[in-house]
Amino acid sequence: MTISFLQQLLALASGVLVGFSLGVVGGGGSVLAVPLMVYVVGVPAAHIAIGTSAVAVAVNAAINLLGHARRGNVRWACALVFAGAGVVGALMGSAVGKTIDGNKLLTLFAVVMFLIAVLMFRSRSHVGHSAVRISWSNFPVLSVLGLATGALSGFFGIGGGFLIVPALMWGTGMSILCAVGSSLVAVTAFGAATAVSYAWSDLIVWTIAGLFIAGGVVGGLLGGMLATRLASQRGKLNTLFAIVIMTVAVYMYVRSVGSL
């Protein structure tokens, strides 16, 4: 795929937007990567957009994971069990996703985006515990939940944080702060597994992935700085971003259904 200079600029700007949204609201931003690649950057095929976004999601999640790990927010045993099962699901989900017609895949993606936006409206008031450990009682639950969320992540090429965080809280009773930090282990693993699957089928544009990653780092820093200033208004920002995701989801649905 030949990338024009304008497309490179748009890819960089789109990466900044995704990273900025992640930095401000703390999740959900990666779901915008695929529609930005398709409708802004001009990636011609849904499968290439999904494969390319998976690379960017994995790398950006790994970068954010380092910060949470330094602050002690990652419960490694629980996270690794969840991620291990999820990688199997991601590989299966990505294999199935590559067989689905591109427009149908975008239609389903739009529905998932809408559901993610609905989840963003829900208040995260769960307290939970920070000192959770893996045990024989939560091991099966984490494995099943990891497999299921991994399959969805691989199928759509999304990070899946808004599925992983509540799944970790429900499966172990951990606090939301620990769930957010631990979820990045799974997001990194799922994205990497999906990226490998799509790379094997030559469905990744590495130039765009690199620009998205670079833009995401810059946007994440800017968003993080703004988030500290607007901490008291985080709920309003979350609601606003959920509305943006819903709007994009409706646009994607209309465009993709019209192309069927």
Q: What is the pLDDT of residues 144-180, one digit of tens each?
A: 999 999 998 888 877 777 678 778 888 888 877 788 7
For 144-168, give the DSSP string: HHHHHHHHHHHHHT---HHHHHHHH
Would you state the torsion angle of the CA atoms of residues 228, 229, 234, 237, taken in this order, to the nearest 10 degrees?
A: -120
Q: How confident is the model at residue 9 (pLDDT cuts 50, 70, 90)?
A: very high
pLDDT the model gives residue 94: 92
Q: What is the pLDDT of residues 176-213, one digit of tens each?
A: 778 878 888 998 899 899 999 999 999 999 999 999 99
Please give the model's pTM, rounded to 2 decimal places: 0.80
229: pLDDT strictly greater than 90:
no
| DSSP H helices in 201-233 | 206-229
130 vs 132, residue with greater confidence: 132
Would you state the torsion angle of the CA atoms of residues 53, 56, 57, 58, taken in this order, to the nearest 10 degrees?
A: 120
pLDDT the model gives residue 52: 93
| Helix H or strand E segment including 47 | helix 46-70
**3-state secondary structure at position 123:** coil
Q: What is the pLDDT of residues 88-127, one digit of tens each?
A: 999 999 999 999 988 888 888 888 888 877 876 765 555 5
